[in-house]
């Protein structure tokens, strides 16, 4: 099960209002061995409320989020080319590789136990304030989302994809149904809280979105 079975559950909404993926309480482990975490710059002041395309993005009480999950520039020596996205699932970090052995590091929420995966993909396209279309397989299990399969859930804070979504395709050019997306559920960052997708605080997915140029060169590597 490389992508599809686990990723069909991507963006699984909680029964309370379909505002995000299902929650657990599993927290992050230790950083990966050999990972350099020296912080060069931290952006803890960048989580205030934002007006974006007519939508009001709530501020994050960032003092209640472990500081290691705040957006920051870190030392990150790697063989990956600048522009590559590396998702380190155990440590709950996403790295956007910069030149000169640096990276932008974001805190993330990852798939809960049983939905873990690893592999490579690329960002085929991206969308501001996306519409959510749950797969038909999800609608068969959860009839309450069936009406969104074709019509979609319109954009907004309650949409499971949040303010931005990056759509991942495999090397054959097929949609994996896996997304990097936003969430207002800041307390889920650093946990295994979703049914497959990688979630970032809305302020962070907006920052990542601005850096990514879709195409096969926008490589995504997911590590377990």
Catalytic residues: 181, 197
List the end-to-end C-alpha distance of the chain, in Å, as a whole number: 14
Tell me if 164 sits within 8 A of 62, measured CB to CB.
no
As a whole number of angstroms, the distance between CA 209 and CA 206 comes to 5
Whole-angstrom distance, CA of residue 156 vs CA of residue 163: 7
Cα–Cα distance for residue pair 191/143, rounded to 1 Å? 27
Residue 212 to residue 224: CA distance in whole angstroms:
23
Q: Give 186's Cβ-side CA count (13 Å radius).
A: 19
What would the DSSP string read from start to end of 206-217? HHHHHH---STT
């Amino acid at each position: 099960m490389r992508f599809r079975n686990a990723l069909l559950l991507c963006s699984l909404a909680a029964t309370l209002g379909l505002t995000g993926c299902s929650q657990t309480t599993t927290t992050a482990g230790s950083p990966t061995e050999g990972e350099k975490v020296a912080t060069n710059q931290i952006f803890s002041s960048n989580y205030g409320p934002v007006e974006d395309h007519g939508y009001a993005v709530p501020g994050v009480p960032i003092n209640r989020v472990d500081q290691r999950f705040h957006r920051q520039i870190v030392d990150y020596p790697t063989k990956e080319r600048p522009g590559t996205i590396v998702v380190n699932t155990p440590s709950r970090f996403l790295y956007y590789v910069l030149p000169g052995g640096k990276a932008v590091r974001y805190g993330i929420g990852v798939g809960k136990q049983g939905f873990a995966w690893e592999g490579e993909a690329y960002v085929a396209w991206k969308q501001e304030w996306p519409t959510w279309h749950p797969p038909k397989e999800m609608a068969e299990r959860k009839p309450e989302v069936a009406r969104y399969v074709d019509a979609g859930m319109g954009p907004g804070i309650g949409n499971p994809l949040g303010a931005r979504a990056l759509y991942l395709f495999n090397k054959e050019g097929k949609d994996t149904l896996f997304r990097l997306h936003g969430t207002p559920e800041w307390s889920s960052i650093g946990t295994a809280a979703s049914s497959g997708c990688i979630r970032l605080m809305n302020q962070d997915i907006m920052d990542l979105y601005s850096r990514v140029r879709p195409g096969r060169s926008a490589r995504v590597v997911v590590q377990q």
